[in-house]
Structure 1
């Protein structure tokens, strides 16, 4: 896949800023519908949160369905819940149709109860989901132990619709499919200006201008301060991951043998999945690239020892971090930027499914002037208060939690 820097002025039906799940899915959908598309990415395709994602293809949001309905109102809330319930199916269909090699594993996910209170929360999520027709299964501690290979959890909620992917490969696979469909993708093309002249959008990058009828801003947590008149507002939260060396075969066959991806119910969340090579990938809230990096790295080693003692001495070979765009109510937003201009953001840690859905539907809405296609109604302005203090709160909380939990010698 080639995405050369923008080297000349261009015209398009749709210009997209950001080469992650949302932007690439939009470029693919628009190009397949016959539109001319130019996508501009400041770094490389998948460089941001998409390529650094946990890799869990989940249905829905972090919030239980009834919370979504309460926040949004019954009709729009139910609609969003229903649309995102089908998000994994959309991801799998694109993987199949475009033959994307991304280690797609469609064996479901396990939401793990870290404590008895966590299991009670899962039981309520199960009740709400089943009422809405979701094929969820509430598993007791013994069945959870059998599936995970760990006795650290008090039960789990299994969602067979979900699964895991290698996120960077998926992001790049969408981009490659968009290029095959006719879209023009440009990396190393940081946008420095965006204006609307009354007839269309003019987007400047590398000293060149792309003119387009429609604009989609798809930078999510990696918005770099482009002057748009209005701007997406969110709290930037760090998430770090640590990958071990491949597990020996005799251990691999008893640890997440079914291939499920996992995350837990703790306030400072942890995640677990195994890649195709047999590496255990341990993730947690916090920025391993920041001042608290050594604390997060030490926590990952202790967490692995606590959950999987048999892996206690398996070395970590890779570590990386990304950023999540968190909204105050944990519901994604679509911001109206001007005539035929939208920004999608705020997936609050659920980037793969929602990003794919929002990008695909935003392309249709912009090209065909059908806002009813959007998963949520666009707003003229979204305000997040105390953004920087909240970001500091999340990181400080993660550092403090990781410093003491699990205890160093547990």
Structure 2
């Protein structure tokens, strides 16, 4: 292909966030070849956070994306800003040892702080709220697990509270759960507005962001790395970050086979009238429950109710693909019966085999980060910050040890064993 060929990007999929976001930033296709200190492939939370932090340190940065900033999961997720990983602090210490484990706990425990600090510092308009995250359970067997989790964070000074049935019902507005906890470090954002705000801040600090620019080849060169694009121009960079997460393709060998890109589905009602909405999440906390196939839910800035969870592995075809979420919402909140749903959408969540985020450093000057397993808003922002310090030479070592790229066995059959896993987890949830 040559430079005279036209560029194209997929349109932003319809969603609540696409309909209500701040205006997009200018991100024209790459018109001419260029040389920079760092090139970043992927304009989501990881890439944009890293670019902003690098530019603040004085480095020249170019970000390219096949579509537009926030087009992927960064602009389609539930907007819940949750610190921590799927593993509790004590488990992280068992896995990584006391010194490294505590460093990881500090990093992930401060992940929500990184998001809200960036929003405040750069005056990002994204409906940011910080009213906490509630993790409730319907299972007597899991109350002890959740309370132990909360106590581990309490022991490290985190502002968390254990919740009994009555306290939980008051905060959630439903009697469907029997206990849980709340983490007051957490909150919510309009995720597409947040992504666009990061992009706007990065551009203000000198970052070049180019949409409709698909990277087709990455290879080492004498001066570092060369990235070829589908429409002709190329980028020379001393260092490269790949930050494509659930939309990873074949740009780097075996990388796409190292994760499962599972669909997460979300529905949103029309703004609820006060007589219905005043008792649903009255404190505007966000929530995601303890099921293996968890449900996550919240209100938005205009009073809509959102419910999210797993759906078919394939791309959605019609409203029936979201019907299970609407049923779940009615079970939690019977007053939603008859309420009209205004938006339905989906996005790809990158799930790793060990349920940990992965940083790969497969060659000198090349870094890769992906696999946030449903904690992408806070963790991708945080990883972007640490990756910037690594690429700038400010931070040596990495709290979470770099991993080798290991393809998941029988990856080509992922849609079949995801379906089997979903059925198995649904059975376990029903029995727990």
- Please give the TM-score of this superposition, normalised by the length of structure 2: 0.88
Matched, 1:20 2:44: yes
- SS across alignment from 1:124: helix
Aligned counterpart in structure 2 of residue 306 of structure 1, from 331, 340, 346:
331
CA distance in 1, matches of 2:309, 2:344: 12
Aligned residue in 1 for 2:238: 213
Query: Cα deviations across residues 328-348 of structure 1 (Å, max 9, x unaligned)?
Result: 221111111311110001111
- Summarize the Cα distance change of 1:254–1:288 in structure 2 as closer, same or farther, 3 Å threshold: farther
Equivalence map 1:88-167=2 (5 Å): 88-167=112-191
Give a deviation string over 1:268-319, Cα, whole Å, max 9, x none: 1100010011110000012486368665422112111100001121111111
Match of 1:364 among 379, 384, 389: 389
The separation in 2 between residues aligned to 1:255 and 1:179, in whole angstroms, is 39
Does the CA-based 8 Å contact 1:336-1:381 persist in structure 2? no
User: Unmatched 5+ residue regions in structure 2?
Assistant: 1-24
Q: CA deviation at 1:382?
A: 3.5
- TM-align CA RMSD: 2.2
- Name the SS for the 2:154 alignment partner: helix
Task: Report the Cα offset of residue 78 of structure 1.
Answer: 1.8
Pairing 1:6-85 to 2, within 5 Å after superposition: 6-85=30-109
Q: 1:6 to 1:292 in 2, by over 3 A?
A: closer
Q: For 1:167-206, what aligned pairs fall within 5 Å after superposition?
A: 167-205=191-229, 206=231
Q: Structure 1 residue 370: deviation in Å? A: 3.2
Query: Is 1:322 aligned with 2:347?
Result: yes
1:224-235 map, 5 Å: 224-226=249-251, 228-229=252-253, 231=255, 233-235=258-260
Give the Å deviation of 1:250: 2.1
Q: How does 1:390-405 map to 2 (within 5 A)?
A: 390-398=414-422
Q: Distance in 1 between matches of 2:242 and 2:414?
A: 24
Match of 1:263 among 288, 306, 328: 288
Change in 2 beyond 3 A, CA 1:356/1:293:
same
| 1:2 positional shift | 0.4
CA distance in structure 1 between the aligned counterparts of 2:151 and 2:64, rounded to whole angstroms: 43
Change (3 A) 1:113 1:190: same
- SS at 2:75's partner residue? coil
Structure-2 residue corresponding to 1:285: 310
CA–CA distance in 1 between the matches of 2:108 and 2:45?
15
Matched residue of 2:185: which SS?
Answer: coil
Does the CA contact (< 8 Å) of 1:102 and 1:165 recur in 2? yes
Q: TM-score, normalised by structure 1?
A: 0.93
- Indicate if the aligned counterparts of 1:18 and 1:40 stay in contact, CA closer than 8 A: yes
How far apart, CA to CA, are the structure 1 residues paired with 2:97 and 2:413? 29
Deviates more, 1:192-201 or 1:34-43: 192-201
Deviation sequence 1:79-112 (CA, Å, 0-9, x none): 1111110111111110011111111110111001
SS of the equivalent of 2:74 reads: coil
How many residues are paired up? 404
For structure 1, the 5+ residue unaligned runs are none
1:379: Cα distance to partner?
3.4
Matches of 2:210 and 2:330 in 1, distance apart?
43
Any conservation in 2 of the 1:68–1:331 contact (CA below 8 Å)? no
Whole-angstrom CA distance in 1 between matches of 2:275 and 2:179: 25
